[in-house]
Structure 1
């Protein structure tokens, strides 16, 4: 009969052998696949690189939103780095991921006149506009100015038509419609949490009416050196 001590020794050796073997297998798999077991290194694929937007250019609205940014930055200095440049205020319709940029940009430029037709159909040939109302936030990471609920409906209809037009032409677009004007965007940390709380006092403020005069095609992350706005690749007036 095997003694209790010997049996315990055999079990421990077997366990260590299994653990070592499993570790080697995982290491081998990692080397072969080139993928590390780390959530921070997950391959998320190509990132969006272009977008369609409507510029906020009503100076009275810009001045009021700048005052709110200044208030937030003054009360929460650590959040200043997350405040968006006032020159870049816009309403995003959707972002796109273009892999063959020259070819797809050329295609998109041909779609803009059709986009204008869709806009005219939706708004009965009247230049679209919206009341900019209220300050809100997404997940304590994004602080934004919103649109009046009644004004969102026609924009939502136009968005749906525009989305279909681009999808029908095999443009990879992100189907996530939540109309807003970003004022600050940062990491979900203590500073942004305090900034979000500070912005709540403006949740019902009415900033005025913005008329959307053109649809703009822009590159994400770009900055025009003269205007401080994005580099406008192409646009079409409504």
Structure 2
């Protein structure tokens, strides 16, 4: 509502009298002054609100522009000169062996039983792969040229991989300041050939896009990575504690036959099996001797059951605390109870013994309530 619409006929008459120089009595002058002050304050408030809305709108637009730019660009620059476009495609080797899937799933479940908050950092089992190279492909033309690069580099190494070459996975390790947990790959002639193929792909993609790719090839099979959920850092989880996997650090996962290399999209929806959208692939001529049954590893969600041993221990502790409370209550006589809950003006009813008993009861009661809540929470997650 505008300022003019708030002005009444009485205000207009008073303003006219003042403009004409007609003397007004004290009450009329006071009333007019109050009306004008109120109108000025309202006008000032409206201006402040308008400016605040403009600032909020400008801030929101600035934030949206910043987010939009970060969506496509890395925060890292090249010597303060140019930004590196965020990769949206990568070349990888699919890890499809159900045996490896089973072991990875078992490790993920064991870690989540110890730290359930890491459920958002778990890498889905159907997406397991080895990354050879990454690139930013802005349009269909670049995707087509990248497919040609995959065919060219794969053809150079095809003869070697046609012999049914396998990669062997074993051991749990971390990198990126303990923010990524992965399965290691045993040193072998096959791994050396994969490394050479990754180097060829990296050089070819750099020539294709004119931009530097990631530095060096680090063969690994990612199992858990904190970057999947940035909210974990707010919860104080900046690293993956070694206590979560130290008892499984020597795990043997199995072997994976290198069946081909694939050009995969990071952003497009996953396929029907939960794997990355494949824009192009080069298959090697290897016999299909791998099991196809993924019903127990890929088609079932992670089963995070509570540690039954810990539940049993908590139940025993709870039973013990209940017995302690019963004994304390039975040991109190009517006289001691009346002294505990007696009036404040009767100091004779307050004894050190009764006060200590009351404190003990309160501590034991709170401890029992906490234990019951913990047991119920773990039981409900079965």
Give yes or no for TM over 0.5.
yes
Tell me the SS of whatever aligns to 2:239.
helix
Structure 1 gaps, min length 5: 1-33, 35-40
Aligned residues: 198
Task: Give the Cα separation in 1 of the matches to 2:268 and 2:242.
Answer: 26
Q: Which region of structure 1 is more displaced relative to structure 2, 67-76 or 225-234?
A: 225-234
Larger Cα Rg: Structure 1 or Structure 2?
A: 2
Q: Which region of structure 1 is more displaced relative to structure 2, 63-72 or 133-142?
A: 133-142
CA contact (8 A) 1:78 1:191 kept: no
Higher relative contact order (CA 8 A, sep 6+): 1
Q: Deviations over 1:134-191 (max 9, x none)?
A: 1111112111111002243222122222223333434643233111111111157444
Partner of 1:143: 181
Structure 2 counterparts to residues 1-238 of structure 1, below 5 A:
43-44=75-76, 45=83, 46-99=85-138, 101-120=139-158, 123=160, 125-138=162-175, 139-150=177-188, 151-170=190-209, 172=211, 173-186=213-226, 189=233, 190-191=236-237, 193=239, 195-238=241-284
CA contact (8 A) 2:169 2:183 kept: yes
| Larger strand percent | 1
| Larger helix percent | 2
CA contact (8 A) 1:79 1:192 kept: no
Deviation at 1:211, TM superposition (A): 0.6
Task: Give the Cα separation in 2 of the matches to 1:165 and 1:120.
Answer: 17
Deviation at 1:194, TM superposition (A): 5.0
CA contact (8 A) 1:223 1:229 kept: no
Task: Give the Cα separation in 2 of the matches to 1:72 and 1:124.
Answer: 35
CA contact (8 A) 2:149 2:201 kept: no
Task: Give the Cα separation in 2 of the matches to 1:237 and 1:103.
Answer: 22
Task: Give the Cα separation in 2 of the matches to 1:131 and 1:195.
Answer: 25
Task: Give the Cα separation in 1 of the matches to 2:161 and 2:96.
Answer: 23
Instruction: Quote the RMSD (CA, aligned, Å).
Output: 2.5
Structure 2 gaps, min length 5: 1-61, 63-69, 77-82, 285-382
Task: Give the Cα separation in 2 of the matches to 1:203 and 1:181.
Answer: 14
Cα distance change of structure 1 residues 127 and 165 upon mapping to structure 2, 3 Å threshold: farther
